[in-house]
Amino acid sequence: MKNKLSIVLAGVVVLLLVSSSLSAHHSDSAYDTSQHLTMNGTVTEFDWTNPHVLIRFEVKDDKGKVESWIGEGSPPNTLSRSGWSRNSIKPGDQITVTGSPYRDGRKGIRIDAQRPLLVNGKAVGQAEY
């Protein structure tokens, strides 16, 4: 009886540890959600990978200098249910993304799931990325 109780308690502890790290993964604390940027750029790479798709793209700043940015979207499973595929975005495509930038000034953006992502002027799938 004592052995069974120890096993159950150990299982509960492991479950609590795993669940707390899973919820931490979905934090938006790295992004400044008080800011919303809309950017136009040229795709250099599209990574259809878990846990979130990544879109690498280049943007010209106010002085015409090219900057490399990365956009983080939803998981591929979520995107595929809304009409996306690994072929929805290709290098060379012109995109328009809206989202929140990194707090620390790195060139990255968490793509806003409530706004359409435009590829070559057309919305991709439903607004769920």
Residue 129 has what pLDDT? 42
Q: Tell me the C-alpha distance between 10 and 38, whole Å.
A: 48
The answer to whether residues 96 and 57 touch, using CB atoms and an 8 Å cutoff, is no
**SS3 at position 129:** coil
Cα separations in angstroms, 57 against 6, 17, 89, 129: 52, 36, 11, 17
Residue 93 has what pLDDT? 96
For the chain, 129 residues long, give each residue's pLDDT as a single digit of tens. 667 766 656 555 555 555 544 544 567 788 999 999 999 999 999 999 999 999 999 999 889 999 999 999 999 998 888 888 899 999 999 999 999 999 999 999 999 877 878 899 888 875 544
Residue 2 has what pLDDT? 66
Q: Tell me the C-alpha distance between 41 and 104, whole Å.
A: 21
Q: Which domains does the chain have, with CATH numbers?
A: 37-123 (2.40.50.1010)
pTM of the model: 0.75
Residue 49 has what pLDDT? 94
Residue 21 has what pLDDT? 45
Q: What is the DSSP string of 22-58?
A: HHHHT--TTB-TT--EEEEEEEEEEE--SS--EEEEE
Residue 13 has what pLDDT? 58
Residue 113 has what pLDDT? 78
- Residue 116 DSSP code: P
